[in-house]
Each structure stands twice: as structure tokens, then as C-alpha cells.
Amino acid sequence: MQTGTTPTGAVPRTRGYYRAEVLIVLGLSLGQSAVYAVVELLGKATSAPLAAQTTRLNPALDQREVFDLVYQLLNIFFALVPVALVLFLLAAPGRSAFRRLGFDFARPGLDFGLGIGLALAMGAGTLGVSAAGRALGLTTAIVPAALNAYWWTLPVLVLSGLRHAVVEEVIVVGYLFDRLAKFGWSTWTIILASALVRGSYHLYQGIGPGIGNFLMGLVFGYAYIRTRRVMPLVVAHAVLDIAGFVGYALFGSAIGIGS
């Protein structure tokens, strides 16, 4: 038997193991996004007033239509790989990771009812925080859909909204809540930590969206603790993002809801 392993050859799952696992997962996904977001915010803040700048979501990735579509789909696909990783890490013999997180359709009434309710509440809150942030000069102008107009633009924006919803809620809520609990952290410490991560990777849009998404993280974290289901959060997040992305693409700058 090798030192530091179990008789089966597996690395023992101590707090140190889980700490390393969390750092690796975040480093491959939303933690990496948070670091880039902070650097981007510093770059914007030191170059011009935030209120005078624009953040474009879902930008074109190539001027040629076919390559733009290919890059868009590849971007969505590879963004979901960390989700596959955490589902793999959470899997256990005889226990589905999907069921463990409530990332399934076992309770559609709760998932869609609570999800749509959260979307309505968070949507109103997002508009309020965005308006306040713009008024205070803490938020950039946000263009939710900067894609060129092609036949595939709307379907790709829908897929993008679903991608953001799945990646963020599965990793920053479902996975983190499971792993941080193994550190011995209290429920509210976990909710606060998850909300801080959520807020940090939105800072590239300005300080206002960072604060708004932190508050959203508190609400979503509490909802998850009460239901132990990620699916209502995925539904809520998808509704918000798809409405913002597709609505902007269809109706223009009158709609300015960011991811």
C-alpha cells in the first residue's frame, strides 16, 4: 500500500483534498473568470470613467458567418466542460450527481414555479441596481447581445443563456455548497462565500453588477438551502439571461439587462 492512499489506491478525501479540488475546479471555471473580471475592472477604471464605457456580451467571434457560428458553438460547448467535471466529482456509487444537486426534472412544479418567481424578483432588482449603478457612475453601459444578425443569432443567444445558467448554478451553488460544507463552514458562511464568487466574476461590467449579483447570490443560496435543488436556480437564471439577450437582439437598446 502506498503512503497517503487508501487500500484501494484512492487518495483519501480529507479537507486538504477537497480544498485542492475546489481550487482546481474554480481555476478552470468561474474562479478564473473572477480573476480576469477584477483585472478588467481595474483596467477600465484606470483608463476612463466607468459610466463612459461599454461592455458587450455575446460578441461576434469572427467576421465570417460560418466561422462565427462555429466559434460560438465551441465556446458554449467548452464552457460546459467544467460542469461535466463537477458532476463527475460529485458522483458516487448508487447515487446520481444530478439527483444529489436537484439538477433534474423530478419536481417540475417547484422548479418552474420557484424559478419563474425568482426570475421576476431578480429581474426587477437587476433593473434597479443597474439604474442606480449608472446614475452613480459605477456601471458601464451593457450591450447584452453584440452578435451580428444571422439566421442563427437568436438560437445561439438562447444557448448562451442556458450555458450561463447551468455553469453558474451547478458550480457556484450546487458544487460549492457541497464542498464548502466539508470544510466545516456554517450555512451562512457558505452562502456568503458563494455570493462573493458570483459577484466577483461579474465585476467586468462594473461595480454595480458585482453588487447586484452578490445580492442575487444571497437569495439563490438561501433558496438552494431551503429546497436542495439547483434546477429552480437554473430556470430563473436562464429566464433572466435569455430575456435579456434575445430581448435586446429583437428590440434594441431599450432593453439593457446584463448576464
> How does pLDDT run across 89-116, given as a tens digit for each residue?
999 888 899 999 999 999 999 999 999 9
User: Does some domain include residue 95?
Assistant: yes
Q: Taking all residues of the chain, what is their mean pLDDT, rounded to a whole number?
A: 92
User: Does some domain include residue 50?
Assistant: yes
- CA atoms in the 13 A half-sphere facing the CB of 125: 17
User: Does some domain include residue 2?
Assistant: no
**pLDDT at position 253:** 54
Q: Which of 246, 230, 205, 240 is nearest to 33 (CA)?
A: 205
First-to-last alpha carbon distance for the chain, in angstroms, is: 50
d(CA 125, CA 116): 14
* Higher pLDDT, residue 15 or 72: 72
User: What is Dmax (Cα atoms) for the chain?
Assistant: 66
In 137-230, which ranges are continuous DSSP H helix?
153-168, 176-181, 187-200, 207-227
User: Does some domain include residue 248?
Assistant: yes
Contact 74, 62 (CB under 8 A): no
Per the structure, the complete domain to which residue 44 belongs is given by 18-254
User: Does some domain include residue 1?
Assistant: no
Q: What is the mean pLDDT of residues 137-163?
A: 94
Q: Please state the pTM of the whole predicted model.
A: 0.91
Contact 30, 167 (CB under 8 A): yes
Per-residue pLDDT tens over the stretch 75-93: 999 999 999 999 999 998 8
**pLDDT at position 119:** 97
User: Does some domain include residue 232?
Assistant: yes
Band (136; pLDDT cuts 50, 70, 90) = confident
Instruction: Indicate the number of domains in the chain.
Output: 1
Contact 170, 83 (CB under 8 A): yes
Q: Which of 207, 155, 258, 217 is nearest to 30 (CA)?
A: 217
Helices 81-90 and 65-79, interaxial angle, to 10°?
Answer: 20
User: Does some domain include residue 12?
Assistant: no
User: Does some domain include residue 6?
Assistant: no
Q: What is the mean pLDDT of residues 253-257?
A: 50
Q: Is 255 exposed, middle or buried (0-12, 13-18, 19+ CB in 10 A)?
A: middle
